[in-house]
Structure 1
Amino acid sequence: MIQKFIYIILLFIVLGEVYTCHLIYKFTKKRSVVFAYLLLLVTIIASLFFYFNGADKSKGQTAESMHVMALLLLFLLPKILISIPLFFEDMFRFTRWTSNKFIYKKIITNSRSSLLTKIVLVAAGLLTISIIYGVFVGKYNFKVREETIVFKDLPNSFDGLKVLQISDLHVGSWDNKAAIEKGIEMINAQEYDILLFTGDFVNTLATEADPWIEVLQKIKTPKYGKFAVLGNHDYGEYVKWDTEADKEANFTAIKNNIEKSGFKLLLNENVVLKSNNDSIYLLGVENWGLNFKKAGDLQKTSENVPADAFKIVMTHDPSHWDAEIVNHQQKYQLTLSGHTHGMQFGFDIPRVLEWSPAEYIYPEWGGLYNKGHQYIYVNRGFGFHAYSGRVGIWPEITVLELKKSK
């Protein structure tokens, strides 16, 4: 399925270049301009090939490689947007020409719609501007999102508990200290009783955190503390290691750096939160994903947790909720995840228009979902990865207030 999707994308990339050359010639009437564009295209492709071929595979994703990816998207996405409507218009024009010529025996003007061309060019221009905005502004355009969730079985003493969630820091992507400090100031400005970080501390390497540990230590510690779990990127599995010992040392250093940053790391374990005579349980599961590392062990994480206890589960990948948690014989009232980033692209106007390509991969890709009396909140991520920007899906700080139904 994924391979077919890739082939379709490649087809529209090629078509996009064909249509681009056609439009350049249409508006300039000069073959030399088309030739100059093709020369630029070949130069860019060759440069990208040599860059990625010569990149240090032991470093994984870096700020530099993500800027290159942003340039690649800037070069390709507007052309894909151009190619899709023009391709379908050409299919329609060809069908109409065929029927006119062979069925109706008529010769009818079958030229391209100038209105469609203008609309497509305007849309491509807006997409280009959006990608540029996403790189320079959008990736640090932090937004606070608030939700209230009502539970019948929430212990009385925890009525009104405020949970602040962040996810997917990807500190190796950060390139603006002032912007990150502003995001942390926004976190500290919130009222919250517990802070939960749901994984992907780094892109790959423990050393990515070195410039940021002191900055992260500035996040205020609330009444019940700050807790973290691991995400798929925290296991160092996206680079080639010289030895297994090197990989394990990197993994150990990542876990240590999470702790140094002020979080209590939960590794398939739970802690009990107490207030007066009431208690709730916080469960921290290691990464478990349908298509990613399955280090999470829900059974182990739930050891010594009473079946009727109120539980908050931290698990990085939301696919874990559908695959195991929501249908488990025990009831896990609230699950917190991240991972999807909302693909860092889409439309996200709360309760008005929420769409991202991520929804075609993850049924729960961003925001609050429920099945019966069990809920999952998927944070859209504080950081960014792969593409050094965000378009429409802004970095998120989540504040969840838990209320007991009357």
Structure 2
Amino acid sequence: MIFRILFLCLFLLIIELYVFQALRTLIKEKWILISYQSVSIIVLLYIVYSFTQFDRSVGQTSQTLFTMGLVLVIYVPKLILTLVLLGEDLFRLGAGVVTYFIDSDQNTSFLASRRKFVSQLGLGLAAIPFMSLIYGITVGRYNYKVIKQRIFFSDLPDAFDGFTITQISDVHSGSFDNPEKINYAIDLINEQNSDMILFTGDIVNTDAKEMHPWIETFNRIKKHEYGKYAVLGNHDYGEYVTWPTAAAKENNFQAIKNLYGDIDFKLLLNEHTYIENGADKIALIGVENWGHNFKKAGDINKASEGVQQEDFKILMSHDPSHWDYEIKNHEKNIHLTFSGHTHGMQFGIEIPGYFKWSLAQYVYAQWAGLYENLGRYVYVNRGFGFHAYPGRVGIMPEITVIELKKGKNVV
């Protein structure tokens, strides 16, 4: 632990030295440099203080959200500037070595002076994540997008041709602080007029009471003709804080499960139901959380027991790694899976139809949008809320609308 703290302090010291060098190259007024150093010290002391005040019996709070945002806003740009200047230093070092051996009598310093334009370039590059992260906190986190996707299935029952499903996921109600924006999002959900709505988990960050101020708001989600269904996410188990007793943790878990009923969603716990439309029906299967690197409470075999091979099947499973590891080749041939969980890391670049990138893709093979394997699909919702970083950059909060169509399988 001490070694980690010392390493972190050394790392931050190196970053601050490089940033100060860049500013000193461009700015000659001492009072500006002194002011910068003073503000940097104050911010760092605040960050250290906030982290020392973190209470594992409480979990994420508005202060920890603010602190994490501050860390990213301040140190991501500084890290980029440091990397630019470090690259210049390696070039200067290489040039100095070459000069030394070619012309050792040359009356010049071993290292060339730092170039002004490199500092300007570094500061310009650092400004991009700085402004992006600020935007993500002030605008992006509530910049809801309705994403519509049509999926074709050759064996879709005739009565469900054109059937629409709205999906929300990863609400993380404990992070909300703007009732007006949340009500706007609920209005967007209602405007879709879908046949059915699915909620794929993480109603809170940790504690059931986080949702209490928002129950009335989410009860504004209108009744859907074919129902409102939900499953649990990894955060719904209350496993990321320290509980005083096992009973307290269990009571919170029961309260969280009750929350879904409080907002009029039917919670499926490793079970299934049939959605009937005339003489046709589809099986809706809901499993508890199953994640390759998270809690494995989901049981697809138990949940699908009694479901026939010829039935058209929709699965709700919070973590898309479940589809990757168990579902896509499952013997029951699950036609379509709805997942969430990844949030798309809340940071990335998306140009719809052309380009999509996020750090999430290095952790999850399926991390945002629609994926297919042998005619079986998973849709990964980018999340309704936010967690840890109090913002979204490039990967916006999502309300998904899926339309089922009968026909040839296409993506």
Q: TM-score range by the shorter chain?
A: over 0.9
Q: How far is the alpha carbon of 1:125 from its aligned partner?
A: 1.8
Q: Which amino acid aligns with 2:313?
A: K
Q: CA deviation at 1:305?
A: 0.6
Give 3-state SS (helix, strand or coil) of 1:289's partner: coil
Which aligned pairs between 1:27-42 and structure 2 lie closer than 5 A? Answer: 27-29=26-28, 33-42=32-41
Letter in 1 for 2:297: A
Match of 2:371 among 358, 369, 391: 369
Gaps of 5+ in 2: none
**2: CA distance, partners of 1:131 / 1:61:** 20
Task: After superposing the two structures, state which structure 1 stretch, 35-44 or 378-387, moved more.
Answer: 35-44
Say if 2:328 and 2:334, in contact at 8 Å, map to a contact too.
yes
- Measured after TM superposition, the shift of residue 10 of structure 1 is 8.5
By how many angstroms is 1:36 displaced?
Answer: 4.5
Contact map agreement 2:25 2:119 (CA 8 A) in 1: no
Which of 243, 248, 252 in structure 2 is aligned with 1:250?
A: 252
* Counterpart residue type for residue 25 of structure 1: R
2:49 counterpart residue number: 50
Q: Secondary structure at the match of 2:221?
A: coil
The 5-angstrom pairing of residues 353-392 of structure 1 reads 353-392=355-394
Once residues 96 and 166 of structure 1 are traced to their aligned partners in structure 2, the CA distance between those partners, rounded to angstroms, is: 56
- Give SS of 1:293's match: coil
CA pair 110-136 structure 1, distance change in 2 beyond 3 A: same
Q: TM-score, normalised by structure 2?
A: 0.92
Within 2, Cα distance between the matches of 1:106 and 1:81? Answer: 37
Pick closer, same or farther for the CA change 1:312–1:26 going to 2, 3 Å: same
Distance 1:311 1:134 in 2: 37
The SS at the match of 2:213 is coil
Paired AA for residue 280 in structure 1: I
TM-score (norm 1): 0.93
Cα distance per residue 1:325-381 (max 9 Å; x no partner):
112122111111111111111112211221111111111111111112011111000
Amino acid paired to 2:93: F
State the partner residue of 1:224.
226
Q: Taking structure 1 as reference, are residues 400 and 14 closer, same or farther at Cα in structure 2, changes over 3 Å only?
A: farther
1:91-240 pair list within 5 angstroms: 91-103=90-102, 110-240=112-242
Contact 2:320–2:366 (Cα < 8 Å) also in 1: yes
Amino acid at match of 2:42: T
Q: Compared with structure 1, are the counterparts of its residues 144 and 129 closer, same or farther at alpha carbon in structure 2 (3 Å cutoff)? A: same
Aligned residues: 401
The whole-number CA distance in structure 2 between the counterparts of 1:232 and 1:154 is 31
Offset at residue 123 of structure 1 (A): 2.4
Relative distance call for 1:362 and 1:13 in structure 2 (3 A) is farther
Give yes or no for contact 1:12–1:84 (8 Å, CA) kept in 2.
no
Change (3 A) 1:82 1:9: farther
Which one-letter code corresponds to 1:374 in the other structure? R
- Name the SS of the counterpart of 1:376 in structure 2: strand
User: Are positions 1:288 and 2:290 aligned together?
Assistant: yes
- Structure 1 residues 7, 216: CA separation in 2 closer, same or farther (over 3 Å shift)? farther
Q: 2:352 aligns with which of 342, 350, 355?
A: 350
Counterpart amino acid of residue 392 in structure 1: G
Q: Which residue of 2 aligns with 1:80?
A: 79
Shifted more, 25-34 versus 155-164: the winner is: 25-34
C-alpha distance after superposition, 1:219-244 (max 9, x if no partner): 11211111111111000111111100
Check whether the contact 2:231–2:269 (CA below 8 A) recurs between aligned residues.
Answer: yes
Instruction: Give the SS at the match of 2:74.
Output: helix
- Cα distance, 1:8 vs. partner? 11
In structure 2, the CA distance between the partners of 1:378 and 1:10, relative to structure 1 (3 Å rule), is: farther
How many Å separate the matches in 2 of 1:186 and 1:10?
A: 46
Letter of the 2:340 partner, please give it: G
**In 2, are the aligned partners of 1:317 and 1:339 still within 8 Å (CA)?**
yes
User: Residue 347 of structure 1: SS of its match in structure 2?
Assistant: strand
Cα deviation, 1:88-132, whole Å, max 9, x if unaligned, reads 232233223322322576969945454443332122223222211
Alignment partner of 2:182: what SS? helix
Percent identity over the alignment is 49
Q: What is the match of residue 3 of structure 1?
A: none
- Correspondence for 2:68: 69
Q: Decide whether aligned partners of structure 1 residues 344 and 106 sit closer, same or farther in structure 2, where only a CA change above 3 A counts.
A: farther
> Does the CA contact (< 8 Å) of 2:336 and 2:378 recur in 1?
yes
Name the stretch that deviates more: 63-72 or 246-255: 63-72
What one-letter code is carried by the residue in structure 1 that aligns with 2:168? I
| Unpaired runs of at least 5, structure 1 | 1-5
Deviations 1:157-209 (A, max 9, x none): 11111111110000000000000000111111113111011111000000001
Aligned to 2:58: 59
* RMSD over aligned Cα atoms: 2.2
Residue 304 of structure 1 aligns to a residue whose secondary structure is coil
Deviation of the 1:9 alpha carbon: 9.3
The alpha carbon displacement at 1:147 in A equals 0.8
